Each structure stands twice: as C-alpha cells, then as structure tokens.
Amino acid sequence: MEKSELIEKLEDIEWEDFEVKEAKFEIPKSSWETVSAFSNTAGGWLIFGVKKAGKRYEIMGVKIPEKIEQDFTTALRSEKFNKKIKPVCKRYIFNSKTVLAFYISQKGSKDRPVYYGSTNKNTFIRTASGDQRATVEEIDSFYRQASFEEKSRELTSLKLGDLDPKTIEQFRNF
C-alpha cells in the first residue's frame, strides 16, 4: 500500500480489509484476533499507530517502531499461531510520527483455520469492520474444505484407464 492509499483509507471507515490499532508502546492483544480473522477470510491491512476517535482517525504514531515491528513479526512466526504467517511490512512517517502497516494475506483452504492458542476459542473471521469469533460450524467447514481440496488433488492425476473394468461391471450389475 502506498502512502496515498493509506491516507485515502484513513479518510474512510474500517472495513473487511482494514483495521487500525493504537499500539503506541506495545502490540494490542486484539491484534491477534484480527490476524486470525484476516488469515481466515480475505486478508487485509493491520495498521499500528492510529487511534480511532469516533468516526475519525488520529495518527498517534508508535513510540519504538523497531521493537513493535520485531515483536509482531516474531509472534507471527512463533508458536503463538498454529500456522506461520508472513506479513508484508510497511513503514510510513506522518509529521515525525511513525505508522506501521502489515498486510496479512488470506491463507489457502488447506491452511485454515488459523488460530492462536486453542482452536475453538481463538479462531476468528472478518465480517464487515469487525473480528468475530468463528462458530463451531465455521471451524468444521474450514477442516472440510481442507480435506476436500486434498482429496480433489489426489483425484486429478487419475485417468479413465485407471479404473478397474471388473469393478465398474459389478457396480452396473448392482
């Protein structure tokens, strides 16, 4: 995201692909929910150093950007999440205040659900401008999709000649 695109987003509202967090001195705990939600849905930008004030955004900046960036990216590659997450990292300066932006991409269906801690409690999806805890049914559907994709990939290498004619004949007779 270019700086002009970020400015444009800051003049709009948080939505399914954009979330701001103040993160002045440390990574907010709610960031992990957003990472899970972006990974499980369509991906999005997580912005640190911006405070939402009513319907407007206020650029606060992060005080120690190198520490916040390192802590955040290290956590995404650690055991905190069940999958390793590699964000796109950007740094912007607004009137000597540093804003950090991280693009969290959507994981493929074989890599979902993405959660931190335990599956049932910490699997999130993104709906409009919010992170919602995934239901048991949604978590189950992630596992089903992963399973179907794997089985479909196994079948793509088969040809008609791979089928057993005797078995087909028995099936027809049945």
User: What predicted TM-score, i.e. pTM, was given to this entire model?
Assistant: 0.82
Which residue in 13, 37, 6 sits closest to 123, CA to CA? Answer: 37
Instruction: Give pLDDT tens digits for 127-136.
Output: 988 999 999 9
Question: Strand 97-104 and strand 88-94: pairing?
Answer: antiparallel
Distance of CA 119 to the CA centre of its chain: 15
Residue 140 Cα distances to 84, 121, 123, angstroms? 21, 14, 11
Q: Please give the backbone phi and psi of residue 80, each rounded to the nearest 5 degrees, phi first.
A: -60, -40
| pLDDT greater than 70 at residue 1 | yes
Measure the CA–CA gap between 113 and 152, rounded to whole angstroms. Answer: 19
Q: Are 134 and 124 in contact (CB under 8 A)?
A: yes
Q: Are 136 and 125 in contact (CB under 8 A)?
A: no
> Contacts for 166-173 with beta carbons within 8 Å, 24 or more apart?
none
Q: Please give the backbone phi and psi of residue 111, each rounded to the nearest 5 degrees, phi first.
A: -105, 5
Which residue in 32, 70, 26 sits closest to 48, CA to CA? Answer: 26
Instruction: Give pLDDT tens digits for 134-165.
Output: 999 999 999 988 887 655 555 567 777 888 88
Instruction: Give pLDDT tens digits for 12-50.
Output: 888 889 999 999 999 999 999 999 999 999 999 999 999
